[in-house]
């Protein structure tokens, strides 16, 4: 009798804990480590079963709500895993800043400018997936009126077709630096010499072909080339990733927002999983959540 | 007298620097007016002789078209498209693309030759924007040609805003010029956001004003060179030493009293 009571209590305790859990811990791993004496942190999120999803808040809402307000309202009933600033911003003041480069938020045009030098075009789907393509390759595939179309958005006419597609599909699109594409480091040593802490989003495939997302945070100041080279090496040599589909930049400039939550929904206190800017100063946010 | 002069010299120097900075900024507020539409006769038909349907986009003489066409006049552009549709029926999308290439990449190549996009020619850029923004209105009114008009509008908006961003990167004081601010505002208004270079001093000022202390401290610490850190520490130690001496002197004076 006593044993059955104990068992029941244990089961109810497990059920209570799992009901409290924000996400399935087997899909999300995080660690803080060091390579060549330099500290870095990695969040690894598996898209197996498509339970881990991405959401992008590209700009303030048309009603004037700021990005962080949009995020907080949305997150009130979501199991958030991690949140980070997204692409570069046009101004340090989040109230008037827009994302740098071409951007569409849920079908609403945020920035029409195709920014020179930012080769990555990321498309965030309502289903929680994200893909990025290399603008320089000129082979962006979309379905227009039920037909597959390959667009070169460097060409004005194709860019217009893409814009109309994004509006029609209520897609979220943003332009960013593309550092790795199809296992190739795209940056040259002659890139910007500015020193800053760096953060990257890499989408990879594991040995079983499942999509795995990584956020790699490098708190130590580095040039953009040094940072992306280090992050690529971490993926290859420390995470043993075979296939890096793409790796894009996450902003750590005027907006350096970064937070990680454990599987119980508590904010991880380790400073290697934290940015130094308050979320109220975010101009755009990329959020990982569990559903 | 000597004391007065000691103050006067730095004051004159600072005034001279401020004077040079103020006088070198552009304060001309006269904005270029829209170009008038002057009708002239020409026909695109003459340019289509000998061109095959299959190779229309490659064989079309874009340069000669731009030299003769009336690109300021939307009716004229529509007539050109109508002629293309008449001569090459069945692919109106491709015909639209041809006019789009002519009025975007080919036109840009002509401006490049004239070096318009290597300097800040405010009047040229203003008139170009005035011309391009009309295409946005045409796109809303004439849905059948929305891809053509939209492509021209977005192309030039992007080009101008990118150009302004590049210019401000090379010349940070340019963003205080009236005509630059006018063009930037126009671009921003139409959602071609210009990312102007934010200097270190401006970043510091912004972070101070918005009380971003942790970011400010973190960035200052991380971006400082070893030399700056050494100077900072020496300065800090000297300051503390100075305070200690003052405290010591006060204590000693109190003891003597």
The 10s digit of each residue's pLDDT in A195-229 is 889 999 999 999 888 999 999 999 988 999 999 99
3-state secondary structure of A35: strand
Does A100 sit within 8 Å of B214, measured CB to CB?
no
Q: What's the mean pLDDT in B62-74?
A: 94
Distances from the Cα of A238 to the Cα of A40, A250, B53, B124, angstroms: 11, 21, 56, 54
- Using pLDDT thresholds of 50, 70 and 90, give the confidence band for residue A237: very high
Among A245-254, A274-283, B188-197, B198-207, the minimum mean pLDDT is found in B198-207
Instruction: For residues B222 and B216, give the distance between their C-alpha atoms in angstroms, rounded to a whole number.
Output: 10
pLDDT at A123 over 60: yes
What was the pLDDT predicted at B5?
60
Q: Which of residues 38-97 of A touch B (CB under 8 A)?
A: 88, 90-93
Distances from the Cα of A197 to the Cα of A35, B92, B219, B256, angstroms: 15, 51, 9, 56
pLDDT at B113 over 50: yes
Distances from the Cα of B22 to the Cα of A89, A209, B13, B182, angstroms: 29, 62, 14, 18
Residue B89: Cβ within 10 Å count: 10
Q: What's the mean pLDDT in A75-93?
A: 92
Two tokens at B256?
A: 């003597």
Quick check: is A7 in a domain? no
* For A98, nearest residue in chain B (alpha carbons): B193
Is the separation of the CB atoms in B193 and B161 below 8 Å? Answer: yes
What was the pLDDT predicted at B229?
79
User: Which residues of chain B have a CB within 8 Å of the CB of A149?
Assistant: none
Is the separation of the CB atoms in B130 and B40 below 8 Å? Answer: no
β-strand pairing of A38-46 with A103-105 = unpaired
Quick check: is A9 in a domain? no
What was the pLDDT predicted at B148?
98
pLDDT at B199 over 80: no
Instruction: For residues A75 and A180, give the distance between their C-alpha atoms in angstroms, rounded to a whole number.
Output: 30
- Using pLDDT thresholds of 50, 70 and 90, give the confidence band for residue A17: very low
Instruction: For residues A116 and B158, give the distance between their C-alpha atoms in angstroms, rounded to a whole number.
Output: 9
Is the separation of the CB atoms in B99 and B81 below 8 Å? Answer: yes
Instruction: For residues A180 and B224, give the distance between their C-alpha atoms in angstroms, rounded to a whole number.
Output: 29
Of B135, B164, B137, give the one whose Cα is nearest residue B152. B135
Quick check: is A179 in a domain? yes
Does B206 sit within 8 Å of A113, measured CB to CB?
no
Does A113 sit within 8 Å of B162, measured CB to CB?
yes
Identify the sign of the CA torsion B123, B124, B127, B133: negative
- DSSP3 helix / strand / coil % (chain B, rounded to 5): 75, 0, 25
What was the pLDDT predicted at B31?
87
Two tokens at B74?
A: 């939307």
Instruction: For residues B124 and B105, give the distance between their C-alpha atoms in angstroms, rounded to a whole number.
Output: 17
* For B160, nearest residue in chain A (alpha carbons): A113
User: Which residues of chain B have a CB within 8 Å of the CB of A164?
Assistant: 146-147, 150
Does B161 sit within 8 Å of A113, measured CB to CB?
yes
Quick check: is A167 in a domain? yes
Does B198 sit within 8 Å of A111, measured CB to CB?
no
Does A159 sit within 8 Å of B223, measured CB to CB?
no
β-strand pairing of A103-105 with A172-176 = antiparallel
Mean pLDDT, chain A, whole residue set: 89
Is the separation of the CB atoms in A284 and A67 below 8 Å? Answer: yes
What was the pLDDT predicted at B102?
97
pLDDT at A135 over 50: yes
Which residues, in sequence order, are bridge partners of residue A30?
A43
What was the pLDDT predicted at A221?
87
Report percent pLDDT > 70 for chain B. Answer: 79
Does A114 sit within 8 Å of B215, measured CB to CB?
no
β-strand pairing of A243-250 with A178-181 = antiparallel
What was the pLDDT predicted at A193?
81
- B79 has a chain A CB within 8 A of its CB: no
Q: How far is A116 from chain B (nearest CA, A)?
A: 7
pLDDT at B227 over 50: yes
User: Which residues of chain B have a CB within 8 Å of the CB of A93?
Assistant: 206, 210
Is the separation of the CB atoms in A208 and A242 below 8 Å? Answer: no
Identify the sign of the CA torsion B69, B70, B74, B76: negative
User: Which residues of chain A have a CB within 8 Å of the CB of B147?
Assistant: 157, 160-161, 164
Among A115-124, A158-167, B100-109, B248-257, the minimum mean pLDDT is found in B248-257
Does A100 sit within 8 Å of B195, measured CB to CB?
yes
Mean pLDDT, chain B, whole residue set: 86
* For B198, nearest residue in chain A (alpha carbons): A91
- Using pLDDT thresholds of 50, 70 and 90, give the confidence band for residue B233: confident
Quick check: is A15 in a domain? no
For chain B, give every domain's residue range: 40-114, 204-256
Is the separation of the CB atoms in B157 and B192 below 8 Å? Answer: yes
What was the pLDDT predicted at A95?
80
Among A2-6, A55-59, A68-72, B43-47, the minimum mean pLDDT is found in A2-6
The 10s digit of each residue's pLDDT in B170-184 is 887 888 899 999 999
The 10s digit of each residue's pLDDT in A257-271 is 999 999 999 999 999
Q: Which of B105, B152, B206 sits opposite A92 (nearest CB)?
A: B206
Does A112 sit within 8 Å of B192, measured CB to CB?
yes
Mean pLDDT comparison of A3-17, B33-47, B50-64, B201-215, highest-scoring range: B50-64
What was the pLDDT predicted at B212?
66
Q: What's the mean pLDDT in B24-32?
A: 75
pLDDT at B17 over 80: no
β-strand pairing of A172-176 with A120-124 = antiparallel
What was the pLDDT predicted at B242?
92
Number of domains in chain A: 1
Of A144, A146, A24, give the one whose Cα is nearest residue A81. A24
- A197 has a chain B CB within 8 A of its CB: yes
Substitution target in B102, B132, B138, B158 with the highest count of A β-carbons within 10 Å is B158
Among A208-217, B17-26, B137-146, the minimum mean pLDDT is found in B17-26
Structural domain boundaries enclosing A233: 23-290
Instruction: For residues B16 and A288, give the distance between their C-alpha atoms in angstroms, rounded to a whole number.
Output: 55
Is the separation of the CB atoms in A135 and A120 below 8 Å? Answer: yes
Longest dimension (CA), chain A: 77
A87-126 b/e (C-beta count within 10 Å ≥ 16 → b): bbbbbbebeebbbbbbbbbbebbbbbbbbeebbbbbbbee
Does B151 sit within 8 Å of A156, measured CB to CB?
yes
β-strand pairing of A211-222 with A196-205 = antiparallel
Instruction: For residues A162 and A175, give the distance between their C-alpha atoms in angstroms, rounded to a whole number.
Output: 13
Quick check: is A182 in a domain? yes
């Amino acid at each position: 009798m006593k044993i059955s009571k104990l068992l029941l209590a244990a089961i109810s305790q497990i059920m209570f804990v799992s009901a409290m859990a924000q996400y399935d811990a087997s899909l999300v791993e995080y660690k803080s480590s060091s390579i060549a004496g330099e500290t870095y942190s990695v969040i690894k999120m598996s898209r197996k079963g498509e339970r881990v999803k991405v959401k992008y808040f590209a700009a303030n809402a048309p009603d004037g709500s700021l990005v962080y307000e949009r995020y907080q309202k949305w997150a009130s009933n979501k199991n958030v895993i991690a949140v980070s600033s997204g692409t570069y911003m046009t101004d340090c003041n989040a109230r008037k800043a827009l994302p740098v480069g071409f951007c569409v938020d849920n079908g609403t045009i945020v920035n029409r400018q195709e920014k020179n030098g930012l080769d990555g075009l990321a498309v965030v789907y309502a289903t929680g997936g994200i893909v990025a393509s290399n603008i320089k390759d000129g082979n962006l595939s979309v379905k227009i009126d039920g037909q597959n179309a390959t667009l070169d958005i460097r060409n004005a006419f194709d860019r217009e077709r893409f814009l109309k597609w994004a509006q029609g599909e209520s897609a979220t699109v943003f332009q960013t630096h593309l550092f790795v594409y199809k296992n190739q480091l795209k940056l040259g040593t002659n890139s910007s010499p500015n020193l800053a802490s760096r953060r990257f989003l890499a989408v990879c495939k594991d040995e079983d072909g499942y999509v795995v997302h990584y956020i790699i945070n490098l708190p130590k100041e580095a040039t953009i080339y040094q940072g992306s080279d280090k992050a690529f090496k971490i993926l290859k040599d420390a995470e043993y990733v075979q296939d890096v589909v793409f790796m894009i930049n996450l902003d750590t400039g005027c907006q350096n927002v970064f937070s990680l939550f454990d599987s119980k929904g508590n904010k991880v206190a380790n400073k290697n999983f934290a940015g130094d800017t308050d979320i109220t100063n975010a101009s755009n946010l990329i959020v990982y959540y569990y559903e | 007298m000597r004391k007065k002069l000691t103050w006067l010299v730095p004051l004159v120097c600072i005034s001279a620097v401020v004077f040079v900075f103020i006088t070198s900024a552009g304060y001309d507020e006269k904005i270029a007016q829209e170009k008038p539409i002057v009708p002239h006769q020409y026909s695109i038909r003459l340019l289509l002789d000998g061109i095959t349907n299959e190779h229309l986009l490659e064989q079309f003489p874009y340069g000669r078209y731009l030299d003769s066409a009336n690109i300021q006049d939307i009716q004229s552009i529509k007539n050109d498209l109508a002629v293309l549709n008449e001569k090459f029926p069945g692919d109106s999308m491709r015909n639209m693309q041809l006019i789009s290439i002519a009025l975007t990449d080919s036109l840009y190549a002509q401006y490049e030759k004239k070096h318009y996009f290597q300097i800040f020619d405010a009047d040229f850029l203003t008139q170009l924007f005035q011309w391009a923004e009309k295409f946005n209105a045409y796109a809303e009114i004439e849905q059948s040609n929305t891809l053509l008009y939209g492509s021209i509008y977005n192309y030039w908006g992007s080009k101008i805003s990118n150009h302004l961003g590049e210019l401000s990167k090379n010349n940070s004081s340019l963003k205080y010029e009236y005509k630059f601010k006018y063009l930037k505002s126009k671009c921003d208004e139409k959602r071609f956001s210009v990312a102007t270079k934010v200097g270190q001093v401006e970043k510091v000022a912004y972070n101070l004003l918005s009380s971003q202390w942790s970011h400010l401290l973190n960035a200052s610490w991380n971006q400082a060179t070893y030399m700056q850190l050494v100077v900072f520490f020496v300065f800090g130690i000297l300051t503390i030493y100075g305070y200690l001496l003052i405290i010591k002197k006060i204590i000693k004076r109190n003891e003597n009293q």
